[in-house]
A and B are shown apart, each in its own frame.
Chain A
Amino acid sequence: MSLDDAFDEPAFVPYLAAGDPDFESSIEYVEALARGGADVIELGLPFSEPIAEGPTIQRAVVRALDGGMTPERFFEFVEALDVDVPLVCMTYYNLLYQYGDEPVRPFVERAAEVGISGFVVPDLPAEEADLLREACDEFGLDLIFIVAPTTAGERLERIMDRVSGYVYVQARLGVTGARTSLSDHTAETLARLEDYDVPKAVGFGISTGEHAAGVVEAGADGVIVGSALVDIVADGHDNDDPTADVAARLEVLARELKAGALEGSQRRSRPERT
């Protein structure tokens, strides 16, 4: 499935680590997000050194790896999912590099086969991404890049030259993790991206419907939410809650976030607010 229509209305883009805490529950969690209104789902393929992640997702990665997640299992995971939403694989470069008998291409080919729509690779800056960009073009996948509050000038152009699907706008400096307030960096970064004709999805720190509304009101085409959802998975795991209960809680928060994104765009279009 392609990302083309995913941002027709303000999009809700949730993230979960595939296989957290185990294969079967994780399938149900991802399907709950789809039911809750996800427009794109970012699926983390766990890597042992997640340098762009805060504590919440670091622990999710450990749970998923302990649960036996591997790149091959990840592809099986995607095949087992029953969702009608484009899926983006979020992982680190070494896993793309090691899979198969040459760097990157076999991984992308297999991802295309199971129906992945694109990639986010947080430790792969645009400068090192030629190989992956080529493979994505060959197999018709999108390559999403992250734009940080520090990204400007020549670097911004280089990224926007190579990006497709959507840009991942990092709301603030640092690593992933749920926050209780929004960063001022978001509006600035969005303003810098205004002239580029590609959907802008804001992530890093969004945890409530009100946040989501604020971000979309500030000009985003979508919101990416990871740690706040992963927290629900972690809580359920720590308390031994039934999978169905955890899935229900995920679906509730998903609905709130999606509704927030829609509310944000309404606020934006109200004349008195412009």
Chain B
Amino acid sequence: MSTDTKFGNYGGQYVPEALMPAIDELTDAYRRYVLENEDGFMDEFRDRIRDFGGRPTPLQRAEQLSARYGVDVYLKREDLLHGGAHKLNNALGQVLLAKYMGKERIIAETGAGQHGTATAMAAAHLDMPCEIYMGRRDINRQRPNVFRMRINGAEVTPVDVGRGTLKEAISETMRDWATTVETTHYVIGSIVGPAPFPAMVRDFHSVISEEIRAQSLDRLGGLPGSVVACAGGGSNTMGAFAELLDNEGVTLYAVEAGGSSLTVDEEAGVAPHSASLSTGEEGVLHGARTKLLQDSHGQIMESHSVSSGLDYSGVGPELSHLVDTGRVKPVTVGDDDALEAFHRLSQDEGIIPALETAHAFGFLEAVAGPDGDGSVEFDEPIVVNVSGRGDKDLEAAIEETEKRNLENAPRMEVFDR
């Protein structure tokens, strides 16, 4: 069946044979319902993402940050979407699609728990049973989201193999899917995986850049000069970029997790970062050819980031392609700078961002802040995609802040009751 499954050299369908018929079936459903709006699928999606999801989300001027950096900074407030992150766009789209396809059960993996939460909400909203795989380590870092998934009626299944993060959770969900493929749809959580997932997930999220475009033209009198978004798998990144790719005047920055360092301990098989666009090499993981963190033998390396949603050894194939062609510029921000940015945005703008999102703001500070390196001359105005809110991260943020000596962090001693 395969329509176009590639982005340049990247993409493809590298999955066990048992899944191939399901992938063909999904490709067909994607073409008919999403691309051709058969049975009014996209109309229903747009109605539901408006009424249940709360779209459109605002494009808000960040006054303090604009003053601090001397450039116009606007915030695309995906944190105000239902569930607190951009993830609902895709989760709702895919659960609805599964319904149109006549599937009976939803499975998903989650790293930060944000995609799991969005999927659990969408499944409850559309009355589908739902099981979420999550690495044991991520369960421990993201307890509030685990509770939210359970409260919305989803099963949460811990994954103990490996380091217990997103990479292992994706592998485990693929194994479940290979067993239950006839009745089950796998709602993949980013623009990763075998075709048609990367294109389809992008399409559900491209409502973000559609709104950025319309809101900018309407309110700012033109398109943004730069768009900045954090990249784990890259779904909020591609969502914010998709409808602006043809406008070469808009500079696009994908901010990756620089973790604690960009150097790698090959012996230990661990990268202390998650910067696959900036440092990775081409390979095949989880169904797609893309840029990966891997050792010289081709074994996939464990990644690291203070934010579990960026902690992934791969990245979407389309982003890999856009980086190779120069359309998207990859940059990195480390754990410390992301935490500083977390506190800055909270104090200066009254918005507690997800730790993932904080990386995007860390990039502004690193370039244009008082100690910035000035390495980039930003095209104005800048739109930063606020991919999610930080409520889920409060425990992790406090714990990580206490480990460091951050000048801009509040003291977080516990008050006696």
Contacts and interface: CB of A to CB of B under 8 A. Distances in A.
B140 interface: no
Contacts of B292: 94
A1 interface: no
Interface string B44-62: 0000000000000000000
A150 B178 CA distance: 10
Contacts of B378: none
B178 A175 contact: yes
Contact of B17 (A70, A170, A175): A170
Contacts of A60: none
A54 interface: yes
Contacts, number: 116
A154 to B, nearest CB: 8
A10 interface: no
B175 A98 contact: no
A150 B2 contact: no
B167 A127 contact: no
Contacts of A159: 17
Contacts of B33: none
Contact of A98 (B12, B17, B174, B294): B294
Contact of B22 (A53, A72, A150): A150
Interface residues of A, number: 41
Contacts of A122: 16-17
A209 B285 CA distance: 36
A52 B178 contact: yes
Contacts of A99: 297-298
Nearest to A61: B161
B285 A94 contact: yes
Nearest to A148: B18
B175 A124 contact: no
Interface string A141-177: 0000111111110010001000000000010011100
Interface string A96-114: 0111000000000000000
A98 B297 contact: yes
21 contacts: A47-B299, A49-B171, A51-B15, A51-B174, A62-B161, A94-B300, A98-B294, A123-B15, A125-B16, A145-B17, A148-B16, A148-B18, A148-B20, A151-B17, A151-B20, A151-B21, A155-B21, A170-B17, A173-B178, A174-B18, A175-B179
- List 7 A-B pairs, minimum CB-CB distance, nearest first: A98-B298, A174-B179, A148-B18, A48-B299, A146-B17, A94-B284, A150-B21
